[in-house]
Amino acid sequence: MQHITWSLSRSSLKNNKLLKIGGSAATDFLQGLITQKLPLESPSSYTALCDIKGRIISSAHIFTLPDGSYLLSSETSSLGHLKPYILRKQRKLVTLEDVTDKFTATAILGTGKGVTMFDGDGVLACAQDSIGVVRLITDETVDLQNVFNEKVKESLVGYKFYRRVAGFLSSREAKGMTVYEANVDLLNGISYDKGCYLGQETVARGYHKGQIRKRCMPAVIFPEDWEGTIEDGETELSVASKLNFETGKEGGQEFEVLKGDLVEFEDKKVATVVTPPLTAPGKIPTPLILSTHVDKRPNWNGSMVKVGNGWGKVWCWKPQWWGELDDRGRKKKTNDISLKMTED
């Protein structure tokens, strides 16, 4: 039996693809393809690459490297998408290199805010994002166990659990969604004062003229006799302490929840499962990610609902990293465009 925690833990992101974009025209090239404005105002930012209809092809973390080039870290490779957009006049000025085999992407949890950049040989990039995860890109010469200490344990399951509790989607899960449903704007991954880019018209229209209703949110399927509550704005650590999640048979096998399953309340669809839980619902609360209409959520939140082929109580909440939303469902304006690290 393994108790899940992310306090001072790390996880190698083995499925991440790393793409290096270099050359004298790298900034101009990427500027027309990603939702974030370049050059970045911080070491790293969240961003998305969209199709002409404004649907996500891939979401990614983008890093500025010391030599002025950029690194895209994503679960889906962006090489095939970016390559056709290199103009004839840019062919000698833009380089695309898959460096997945040369470097390792690592997620570090439980470090708190304001992480200091790691310097030294073998460290390509390091930055902390909005959901509190430090992302470190290193080569094989770096021994992470020595960088921290023996207390920093490897926990891939812990990271997957954290993602669900935080309501953070991988690039595969976000593919095909609008940037607002995938919360790219709430992750500070969109700049509204940059030049044209692929899908910009749809993204801008959704922000300036639309009402943003549908978003992905973390949720928990919990036993009928569970007396806990999860309030909007709680931290991931606070939620996890209530769940006391463990892997193993204690999760029960009452029914299976799959990606794409509908959540129904009073015979009406109220949400769709985007990221299924790590274990089947049972004796302990089980976290997952739902796509739902935020304004209709209070009608069924905390109620018994049908999930796929089974029934369970569901608690769905707004995570802390969302910040405040305005009356049109948009993130309230701040001076921060990209993901800036802050000092406590």
pLDDT tens digits along 233-287: 988 878 887 886 655 445 456 788 999 999 999 999 999 999 999 888 887 788 9
The domains of the chain are located at 2-156, 214-322
- Cβ atoms of 151 and 108 closer than 8 Å: no
**pLDDT of res. 53:** 94
What are the structure tokens assigned to 183, written together?
Answer: 């919360």
Residue type, 203: V
CA 28 to chain centroid:
26
**pLDDT at position 286:** 87
Residue 99: pLDDT over 80: yes
Q: Can you give the pTM of this predicted structure?
A: 0.90
Helix (H) or strand (E) holding 31: helix 26-31
Please tell me the predicted confidence (pLDDT) of residue 84.
92
Distance of CA 151 to CAs 8, 10, 104, 148, Å? Answer: 7, 10, 20, 8
CA 70 to chain centre: 19
For domain 2-156, say whether CATH 3.10.450.50 is its number: no
Q: What is the reported pLDDT for 246?
A: 58
